[in-house]
Structures are given as structure tokens and as C-alpha cells.
């Protein structure tokens, strides 16, 4: 207990005050409008603590682009969701929000949407919608929904290596104890013939379990329960050892995956992001994927953890509660563990007759050139079983009246189906969708309203120069008008927005 209290004191001692962001100036029509909640000042929770010791990839938001000069936009697609539960933890625990922790695409992709599922032989399906932007009267939102084929976790043979950080920084309740609960939940979902290994790392690395079968649940759970935290963080050594075990128990045609659980602190061994990226890139060619689950506050190195997952053809998620562990590792285990499409990338071409300019919302570090999009060897993102992805463009329309039968934009998605859906993971396939003028509707659907609410909240949190008239009060009203009772996580989002508004008001 004394050690636990000391750990919490040290984390709190690292916190420093976060100063309010400077006001941003106005913009032209093509650059969106200025303004926002409480004027141009960035929302702040006053004297709330900042998160010293955490790092996030710096984001420079995508600007508006002239459709006449550059009609096409290309980027890599994945279904990472880490940003939203991380933000939920930051807000509910009373910390100020680092603007680069706000990744709108990961916030959108956290939630499930009722998009049309794939039919025939396709692994992916596409839908679209165009509607008025609720927070900007000068623009419209074009949304593209992507749904992946669903494969039962029980139908796949799994060779999993739990790579668990047990260094001293993992001592607090929201770290190693939560990791143990999460992985014990996962153990209960294993198929009898699955193989499980456990590697731990602190000052050195250790094998806690080697190649146990899925039916040996008591043995697996006992090994997880015996873990304790202490020492420095030899992360790279643990990764090497985990790959050795994954190779030893490799299942041909199965799901071979290393699953890293950490607070993100790598302070011994190969510590740079570039070094870790090189290591994971070399190992993924063996057919072993690498997923990352972040835990706890104070050491989150989101930039490093996302790099590991992207280069390892895996997913990056953040676990802030037992409820979130259940969502990611039990209810959504197929999406987290069973990849159905790899190297997924999108190309959207706008019709300049209808679109004056456009702005891709999010995906800032996943942009591709046209050559990269057309090159089948380009390493892009992966989608898991049943994943849904939502892409949002903010567009400025021309004055041309919409004519029935004409297109606003054309969408093309390229991907490689994996062995889990009968593909060879090397032959590239593509699906296309025309966004016709009939897709525009002045009245938002419930999905439109929720998607736009997530985007608006992200813009407020970032104090984005593209937030236009984004307003927490209007946002809460829009969410309150939706019936979210069938989805506890969307209901929770509404409550989070309300909580954030209250914290901002109390800080004024």
C-alpha cells in the first residue's frame, strides 16, 4: 500500500499547469470561419493539472484544398480507437486536454455504426452521406462509411503472445492490475487449441508462460495473477523475446500476434521511435502482427505506441477501465484480433463543378501521394473483423444547382484480403462508390447527427481554426435530441460532453 501511495504521489508531482491557448485569427470562406465556444479562447479547465511525461504525435490539421487545382485526396485507413478512451480518461480525471491527444478519426472509429455490410465476395462495403455542417453554415459534411466483413473469433486458430510491461511505472491500479483483469478476460475467450505465451519485461525480460493451450485457462490465469511491477523498462528486449515465442508456436494460416500492454515508457534498450519502428517493420514480414494496448496516466507515449501498431500491422487501443477492456477484448475481440483486410487505402476524387474546396478531417499522419495509392506495395492500414470506419470531409460547394444523376465525388478503396477471409494477403482488390447528388439531404439522419457531434467536439477540444461556430451548448442540445439508449457507448459520449461543459463552466 505504501508503494502504491508513493507511486501516485510521484505521478502527481510530475503535473504542471497548462496555460490557455492563444486566440486564433479569422479565415476566408475556404479556410472556414473563426469563433467558437467562449469566443476564440481555447476551452480550459482552469487550474486543472497537465499531463507531464506524456507525448503525442504533433498534428497540423489538414487545410482546405481547391478541387479545381487538386481534385483527388489519398490516405491510409485503419481502425485505431485509442484517442477516444484516452480523452475520456483525461477529462473524467480532471486533467487539461493536450490538443495533440485529440485524433478525430480515432474518436469516430471508436463507435459502431449501422453501415451496410459487405455482400458477394467483397470483404469491405461503402456508404456515403452529404448534409449541412451543423456548426458552419458555409460548408457541408461528406461522410464515407466503411464496413468490414465479420469473422467469428472461434473460427480462427490463434497464437498469441502477451507482452506485458511490469516495470515500476506500471505499479498503480490503472496500469498492471487493470492489465491483469483485461488479459484474464481475453483468456476466457480463447479457443481450446489456441496457443498462449506470456513475456514480461522490466529491467530485463522473462518468460512467464510458454505455449499453453487455450483449454489450460487456469494455468494462463495463474501466470497473469502472479505478475508484479518493479524495475526499469527494457522494452526492446521484451519485444525480441515475444517474437521468438510467436515464431516457435507459429500457426500456418492462423492469427499469429504479439499483444503489448504498457503505459508507453521505454527507457532501456532500443528507445527511439525510429529504432522501434525498424524492429517491428522487420518482424512483420514473418506473418506475425503486433497490437498495442495502452494503460494508465503519466507515461503515455502515444506517438511510439501508434508507430509500433502501424508498423506491426496491428491495432492501437487504450484501456482506461474494466468496461473498456471488456469492449475491446471480449465483445470486440474479432476486430481487435482478427485482421480481414491489410494495406487499406482510400482515394476520393471531387467534381469541381460541385465542390469548390474540401478538407479531410483527421488522418493527418496517414496521407498518401497518388503514386503511393496506386502502388500495391505501399504499407497502409489494417481492418479487423466487423470494424466500421467513418471518413469525414468538410466541403465548400459551388453555386451550381444539384442536378439529378450527377456525382459530387467518386470513392475508391484498395485493400488486400487476408487468409482469414480466404484471400492470399498479396493480391490487391478494390471497391468503388459514386457519391451522387441524391446523397445530399438537408435533414440529418441520426448517424449524421452523431458523427457531426463527434467531429464538433474534437474541434472544440483542439480549439481548431476550423471550428467555426462550434458550441458546447448547441452540441449538447443536438446529442440530447438523439435516442442513444440502444448504444451505451454513444450514451456515454453524450455524458462526457456534458461533463466537459460543466468543468469548463466551473473554471470560468
The string of pLDDT tens digits covering residues 98-113 is 999 999 999 999 999 9
Q: How confident is the model at residue 41 (pLDDT cuts 50, 70, 90)?
A: very low
pLDDT of residue 3: 41
Q: What is the mean pLDDT of residues 63-81?
A: 95
How many Å separate Cα 5 from the centre of its chain? 32
Whether 243 and 282 have beta carbons less than 8 Å apart is answered as no
- How far apart (Å, rounded) are the C-alpha atoms in residues 479 and 477? 5
Query: What pTM value is reported for the model?
Result: 0.85
Predicted confidence (pLDDT) at residue 201 exceeds the cutoff of 70: yes
Q: Residue 497 in contact with residue 478, Cβ under 8 Å?
A: no
Beta bridge partners of 390: 145
Conformation bin of residue 109: beta by default, left when phi > 0, alpha when psi is -120 to 50: alpha
How is domain 153-337 classified at the CATH fold level?
Rossmann fold (3.40.50)
Interval 306-332: pLDDT, tens: 878 888 888 888 888 899 989 888 887
Give the number of other CB atoms < 10 A from CB of residue 5.
10
Q: What is the pLDDT of residue 60?
A: 94
Mean pLDDT, rounded, of the chain: 85
Q: What is the pLDDT of residue 217?
A: 94
Residue 25 has pLDDT above 60, yes or no: no
Average pLDDT for 347-353: 98
Which pLDDT does position 425 carry in this prediction? 66
Which one is predicted more confidently, 2 or 368? Answer: 368
For residue 328, the model assigns a pLDDT of 85
For 410-435, the DSSP string reads: EEEEEEEE-GGGT--SSS-EEEEEEE
* Whole-number Å distance between alpha carbons of 352 and 400: 10
Residues 6+ apart with CB under 8 A from 315: 78, 79, 80, 81, 291, 292, 309, 335, 336, 382, 384
Q: Is the pLDDT of residue 414 over 90?
A: yes
Looking at residue 258, what is its pLDDT? 92
Nearest in space to 363 (alpha carbons), one of 388, 379, 380, 351? 380
Cell matching residue 120: 458477394
- List the domain boundaries for the chain: 2-151+340-507, 153-337
Checking if the pLDDT of 36 tops 60, the result is no
Helices (H), 255-403: 273-284, 302-311, 322-326, 333-337, 370-374
Beta-strand ranges (E) seen in 175-237 are 195-201, 205-213
Q: Give residue 234's pLDDT.
A: 61
244 Cβ neighbours under 8 A, 6+ residues apart? none
CA pair distance 113, 200, nearest whole angstrom: 37
Q: Is 38 helix (H, G, I), strand (E, B) or coil?
A: coil
Count other Cβ atoms within 10 Å, centred on residue 427: 9
- Is residue 52 a contact partner of residue 281, using CB atoms and an 8 Å limit? no
In terms of average pLDDT, the best of 25-29, 331-335, 449-453 is 449-453
The whole-angstrom separation of Cα 208 and Cα 223 is: 6
Judged against a pLDDT cut of 90, whether residue 170 lies above it is answered with no
pLDDT at 194 > cutoff 90: yes
pLDDT at residue 272 in the model? 61
Question: Sorting pLDDT into bands at 50, 70 and 90, what band is 10?
Answer: very low
Using 50, 70 and 90 to split pLDDT, how confident is the model at 202?
A: confident
Task: Give the CA count within 13 Å in the CB-facing half-sphere of 273.
Answer: 13
- Cβ contact 235:264 at 8 Å: no
> What pLDDT is recorded for position 35?
33
Query: Which of 274, 241, 83 shows the shortest CA–CA distance to 164?
Result: 241
Dihedral angle computed from the Cα positions of residues 204, 207, 208 and 214, in that order, rounded to the nearest 10 degrees: 150
Cα–chain center distance at 21: 25
Straight-line distance from the first to the last Cα atom of the chain, in angstroms, rounded to the nearest whole number: 37
Q: Averaged over 466-490, what is the pLDDT? A: 95
Task: Tell me the average pLDDT across 64-93.
Answer: 94
CB 265 within 8 A of CB 302: no
Domain 2-151+340-507 sits in CATH at 2.60.40.1230
Sheet (strand 289-295) strand order? 205-213, 195-201, 158-165, 255-262, 289-295, 316-319
Question: C-alpha grid cell for residue 199?
Answer: 513475456
Supply 473's cell numbers. Answer: 451548448
Mean pLDDT of 183-212: 90
Amino acid at each position: 500500500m505504501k508503494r502504491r501511495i508513493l507511486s501516485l504521489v510521484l505521478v502527481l508531482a510530475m503535473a504542471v499547469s497548462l496555460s490557455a491557448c492563444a486566440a486564433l485569427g479569422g479565415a476566408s470562406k475556404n479556410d472556414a470561419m473563426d469563433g467558437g465556444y467562449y469566443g476564440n479562447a481555447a476551452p480550459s479547465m482552469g487550474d486543472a493539472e497537465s499531463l507531464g511525461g506524456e507525448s503525442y504525435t504533433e498534428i497540423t490539421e489538414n487545410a482546405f484544398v481547391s478541387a479545381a487545382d487538386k481534385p483527388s485526396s489519398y490516405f491510409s485507413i485503419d481502425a485505431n480507437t485509442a484517442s477516444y478512451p484516452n480523452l475520456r480518461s483525461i477529462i473524467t480525471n480532471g486533467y487539461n486536454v493536450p490538443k495533440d491527444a485529440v485524433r478525430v478519426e480515432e474518436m469516430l472509429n471508436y463507435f459502431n455504426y449501422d453501415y451496410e455490410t459487405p455482400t458477394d465476395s467483397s470483404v469491405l462495403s461503402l456508404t456515403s452521406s452529404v448534409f449541412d455542417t451543423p456548426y458552419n453554415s458555409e460548408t457541408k459534411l461528406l461522410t464515407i462509411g466503411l464496413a468490414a466483413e465479420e469473422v467469428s473469433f472461434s473460427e480462427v486458430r490463434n497464437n498469441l503472445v502477451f507482452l506485458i510491461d511490469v516495470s515500476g511505472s506500471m505499479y498503480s491500479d490503472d496500469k498492471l492490475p487493470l492489465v491483469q483483469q483485461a488479459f484474464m478476460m481475453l483468456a476466457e475467450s480463447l479457443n481450446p487449441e489456441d496457443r498462449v505465451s506470456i513475456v514480461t519485461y522490466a529491467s530485463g525480460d522473462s518468460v512467464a508462460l510458454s505455449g499453453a493451450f487455450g483449454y489450460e485457462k487456469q494455468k494462463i490465469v495463474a501466470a497473469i495473477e502472479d505478475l508484479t511491477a518493479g524495475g526499469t523498462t527494457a522494452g526492446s528486449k521484451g519485444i525480441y523475446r515475444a517474437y521468438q515465442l510467436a515464431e516457435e508456436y507459429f500457426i500456418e494460416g492462423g492469427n499469429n500476434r504479439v499483444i503489448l500492454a504498457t503505459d508507453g515508457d521505454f527507457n532501456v534498450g532500443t528507445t527511439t521511435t525510429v529504432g522501434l519502428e525498424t524492429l517491428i517493420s522487420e518482424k512483420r514480414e514473418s506473418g506475425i502482427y503486433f497490437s498495442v494496448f495502452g494503460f494508465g496516466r503519466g507515461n503515455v507515449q502515444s506517438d511510439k505506441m501508434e508507430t509500433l501498431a502501424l508498423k506491426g500491422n496491428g491495432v492501437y487501443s487504450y484501456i482506461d477501465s474494466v468496461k473498456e477492456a471488456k469492449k475491446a477484448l471480449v465483445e470486440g475481440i474479432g476486430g481487435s484480433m482478427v485482421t480481414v483486410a491489410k494495406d487499406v487505402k482510400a482515394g476520393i476524387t471531387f467534381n469541381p463543378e460541385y465542390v469548390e474546396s474540401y478538407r479531410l478531417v483527421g488522418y493527418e499522419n496517414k496521407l498518401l501521394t497518388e503514386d503511393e495509392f496506386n502502388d500495391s506495395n505501399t504499407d497502409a492500414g489494417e481492418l479487423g473483423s466487423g470494424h466500421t470506419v467513418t471518413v469525414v470531409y468538410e466541403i465548400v460547394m459551388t453555386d451550381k444547382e444539384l442536378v439529378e444523376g450527377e456525382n459530387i465525388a467518386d470513392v475508391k478503396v484498395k485493400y488486400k484480403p487476408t487468409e482469414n477471409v480466404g484471400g492470399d494477403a498479396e493480391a490487391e482488390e478494390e471497391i468503388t462508390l459514386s457519391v451522387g447528388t441524391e446523397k445530399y439531404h438537408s435533414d440529418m439522419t441520426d448517424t449524421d447527427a452523431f458523427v457531426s457531434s463527434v467531429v464538433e467536439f474534437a474541434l472544440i477540444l483542439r480549439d481548431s481554426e476550423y471550428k467555426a461556430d462550434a458550441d458546447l451548448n448547441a452540441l449538447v442540445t443536438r446529442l440530447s435530441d438523439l435516442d442513444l439508449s440502444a448504444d451505451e457507448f454513444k450514451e456515454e459520449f453524450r455524458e462526457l460532453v456534458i461533463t466537459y461543459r460543466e468543468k469548463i463552466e466551473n473554471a470560468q
